[in-house]
Chain A
């Protein structure tokens, strides 16, 4: 459960987020939509305590974020970073094992229980064949899977993903988002992620939050929130909605 109340943050004197109040529930996928520069990434950085808001409170699974030690925080929240450039070619297994950093003692090495957990995760995500390959030598879609696997190794309650689909092909976008949704359902994770494509939000989101200029302009179910008028206003572009039965699809109006 994530509860953000009246969150405001300025960076270099520029207000980035202004009075943001959102809620994300366990077992659901909550999607942040908004144009570039609307503050989506900043909000995620606040939630993973990489940025410190000037005012407002953040509650994560019943704990107040402020003052939480990093180690405790990492046991609650796992993050898939937007960009990822490891300088050492660790194997996939070694990289996933790093999810255990917050669970293993400071001066200790991961034990057999940690290794077994990683093995289980590799099997769960169907990436056993990648286990001993260097992380730097696998494809973008595989990397995203490995990063999600590392999050699972943290055994968190909250999963944050910053544009998890941005470098992926058509199929892998769907693969990753289906996986994330299934994980939310099965393990009661609270999932919060940012997306650029409102159509993906229509397909996978349980809840949608619209951000514009650092403020929440709407939040609710995709059916309520992802409407042509709201999208047109959010992105400053004419759009129309195509429907076929239950399925709906946004399409830009071309001049």
Chain B
């Protein structure tokens, strides 16, 4: 019990060291004293030079904030949908969000340069999720299996459309589509943070407040009903909350895989399955993981590696290690 409390505090506070580290490292290293001066207290004679102010507050800080927000969003939505669908292999991309976003990006790059990629991606990822939900709906109910199948169909459809666009556009546009699809935070600025934040707050807030009911929903449809849950309506609300938050995340970061799938598993293995703990800790662990991955992505080489590649390279082996070690603890079928 004691050890578990320590683990919980560690996970909860993990974004802090990641935050400090990410501010310090980069093409221009910022020493600890300078950071202290910039954020906490700075004597007048050692005023912060302008270029450092720009690096810290306009380059690094928005990117760090955005990385944490995206990681947090992907993770809590993954945890939410895994509970709602009682399926360990689910994340928000299952709803077709990622392929929809990819299509939105592709058409805005290829045909509508005046339409910002972020807007195109946001609209089409929500549209894809809506389409998935509508296709899966039969006689007023949305069975899990048909939702998963509909998600696969919608994803495949949008993926095919993206392929057509890739096939016809010129190589420069193709390159920017491909780069965007790999997932990257290199275009992060305060504007991106401001566009994504409200949606993430709404979605995250709903899930945060309703997190205990996820335990009841994860009991399965029939049992949740006898416990007093309006299963159809409440499940729809949770899916909606996850979808709008993830659509916002995808629109500013591209498609970053594995975070939403992996983080909730790690958290459950460490602190158990109760969603009153899993949701908050998925948020902080997702934020730290994403931030560290992005820090590696921008410092590891002289150029910039798309962060989606880093999350997958870290995530996949770590996930397998955890499954071999204690997968049965976190999930029992």
Contacts of B272 in A (CB 8 A): 89-91
10 A-B pairs with CB atoms under 8 Å apart are A48-B225, A71-B230, A74-B226, A87-B218, A88-B268, A89-B272, A102-B227, A109-B211, A109-B212, A110-B212
User: Closest Cβ of chain A: how far from B233's Cβ, in Å?
Assistant: 10
Q: A89-B332, A107-B210, A109-B212 are in contact. Are A101 and B228 (CB under 8 A)?
A: yes
B86 on the A face (CB < 8 A): yes
Tell me if A90 and B228 are in contact (CB < 8 A): no
Contacts of A88 in B (CB 8 A): 83, 215, 218, 268, 273, 331-332
Q: A98-B215, A107-B210, A109-B212 are in contact. Are A87 and B332 (CB under 8 A)?
A: yes
Name the 4 nearest CB pairs between A and B, nearest first. Answer: A74-B228, A102-B228, A88-B273, A107-B209
Contacts of A102 in B (CB 8 A): 227-228
- With both beta carbons as reference points, the residue of chain B lying nearest to A87 in the complex is identified as B86
Contacts of A165 in B (CB 8 A): none
Tell me if B223 and A81 are in contact (CB < 8 A): yes
A39 on the B face (CB < 8 A): no
Contacts of B212 in A (CB 8 A): 104, 108-110
User: Closest Cβ of chain B: how far from A252's Cβ, in Å?
Assistant: 34
* Cα-based distance from A78 to B268 in the complex (angstroms): 29
Interface string of B199-236 (1 = CB under 8 A from A): 00000000001111101101110110111111000000
B86, B274, B276, B329 interface centre (most CB from chain A within 10 Å): B274
A194 on the B face (CB < 8 A): no
The contact of B218 among A86, A104, A132, A154, by CB within 8 Å, is A86
Contacts of B213 in A (CB 8 A): 101, 106
Q: A70-B230, A109-B276 are in contact. Are A87 and B331 (CB under 8 A)?
A: yes
B5 on the A face (CB < 8 A): no
B333 on the A face (CB < 8 A): yes
Tell me if B226 and A48 are in contact (CB < 8 A): yes
* Cα-based distance from A50 to B272 in the complex (angstroms): 30
User: Closest Cβ of chain B: how far from A216's Cβ, in Å?
Assistant: 24
Contacts of A89 in B (CB 8 A): 272-273, 329-332
Tell me if A101 and B227 are in contact (CB < 8 A): yes
User: Closest Cβ of chain B: how far from A49's Cβ, in Å?
Assistant: 7
A84 on the B face (CB < 8 A): yes
Within 8 A of B (CB), among A55-92: 69-71, 73-75, 77-79, 81, 84-91
Tell me if B332 and A136 are in contact (CB < 8 A): yes
- With both beta carbons as reference points, the residue of chain A lying nearest to B227 in the complex is identified as A101
Contacts of A104 in B (CB 8 A): 212
Within 8 A of B (CB), among A208-222: none
A53 on the B face (CB < 8 A): no
* Cα-based distance from A73 to B226 in the complex (angstroms): 8
* Cα-based distance from A98 to B276 in the complex (angstroms): 12
- With both beta carbons as reference points, the residue of chain A lying nearest to B231 in the complex is identified as A70
The contact of B228 among A71, A85, A109, by CB within 8 Å, is A71
Tell me if A75 and B228 are in contact (CB < 8 A): yes
- With both beta carbons as reference points, the residue of chain B lying nearest to A69 in the complex is identified as B230
- Give 11 new A-B contacts, CB below 8 A, not counting A87-B218, A88-B273, A106-B210: A69-B230, A71-B230, A74-B228, A86-B220, A87-B332, A87-B333, A90-B274, A91-B272, A94-B273, A101-B216, A101-B228
Contacts of B220 in A (CB 8 A): 85-86
Tell me if A73 and B228 are in contact (CB < 8 A): yes
Contacts of A85 in B (CB 8 A): 220, 333
Within 8 A of A (CB), among B267-291: 268, 272-274, 276
A50, A84, A98 interface centre (most CB from chain B within 10 Å): A98
Within 8 A of A (CB), among B299-333: 329-333
